[in-house]
Each structure stands twice: as C-alpha cells, then as structure tokens.
Amino acid sequence: MMTHSDETPATVAASACPVCGARAAAGSLFCAACGAFLTTEDGRRTKKRETRTALANGHSGDVPGDYSLVQLLGEVAHLQRDLLKQFRQGQAVQARQFSRALEAQALQLDKALAHAAGQVEASEQRLLLWQRWAAGIAAGCVFVIVLATQLV
C-alpha cells in the first residue's frame, strides 16, 4: 500500500498528454511525443515505474518518493558507463579499421607506383630505340649524300 497521496499507482486508461495533447498508451508514464509526465484522471502523476522497481527489488508498496529518483539515477549512471565502454570499444574498432584501411591504401599506392615506374622504364627504352633508329637513318642519309656528291 502506498503512503504518498500526491502519486497513485498507474491504472490509467489510454488518455491524452496534458502538455501536447497526443494520445498516450494505457499505463504510460511519459508522453511518447513530447516526453512530459502523464497524469491520472484526478491530475496526479502516475507511479507505475516506482512501484514496479520497488517490488522487483523486494520492497513492499510503501516506497519513499525519492527511491525511484535514486534508482533512476543509478540506472542512468550504469547506462552511461555502458555507453562509454561501448564508445571506447567502438573507438578501438574504428582505429583498427582505419589502420587496415591505411595499410590497404599504402599497398594499392605501391602497386600503382610500381606499375607507373614500369611504364616509365618501357617508355624510356622505346625513346632510346627511337633515337638510335633516327641516328642510324640520319647517318645513312649523310652517307648517301656524300656518296652521291662524290659520284657526280
């Protein structure tokens, strides 16, 4: 049995939010649209979570009004620790993924540079071959010209 008269157990049928007027599901403590506390038909706040939490912890229905706040703050702190732990794990995973991505990019860059170096070397060899061929043709032309001038 509850001793606080300003809060009652949540036996509220589906009703409207007192702040935004959105329809609230039966037994809800908060408005799903705006997050405001829902009230019973006589205007008092519901006490469903407080009673449920107290009963789950082995307490009777006579629970001080601050108990649910302390319990809620404890749950929030626990969730924050879990979120921080997950965040740090996520950071470690992201760091490993980033490292692997950098390694993959470095490998691709090495392959691209090796391919480009091979193409440059092949181009240089073709250029040298072309220069030798052109020099041979020029020497042949000079020889033909010299020979033609001496014969005439």
Q: Clarify whether residues 45 and 98 are in a common domain.
A: no
pLDDT tens sequence across 67-126: 577 888 888 888 898 889 888 888 988 999 999 999 999 999 999 999 999 999 999 999
Q: Clarify whether residues 16 and 73 are in a common domain.
A: no
Q: Clarify whether residues 59 and 70 are in a common domain.
A: no
SS3 90: helix
Q: Clarify whether residues 57 and 103 are in a common domain.
A: no
pLDDT tens sequence across 7-56: 444 444 457 888 888 887 776 777 777 777 777 776 666 554 444 454 45
Spatial distance between the Cα atoms of 22 and 18, rounded to a whole number of angstroms: 8
Buried b or exposed e, range 121-143, using 16+ CB within 10 angstroms:
eeeeeeeeeeeeeeeeeeeeeee
Give the pLDDT confidence score for residue 25 in this predicted structure.
Answer: 74
Q: Which domain holds residue 96?
A: 66-152
Given a contact cutoff of 8 angstroms between Cβ atoms, the answer to whether 23 and 82 are in contact is no
> Letter for the amino acid at 29?
L
Spatial distance between the Cα atoms of 104 and 88, rounded to a whole number of angstroms: 24
Spatial distance between the Cα atoms of 53 and 95, rounded to a whole number of angstroms: 40
Q: Clarify whether residues 11 and 32 are in a common domain.
A: yes
pTM tops 0.85: no
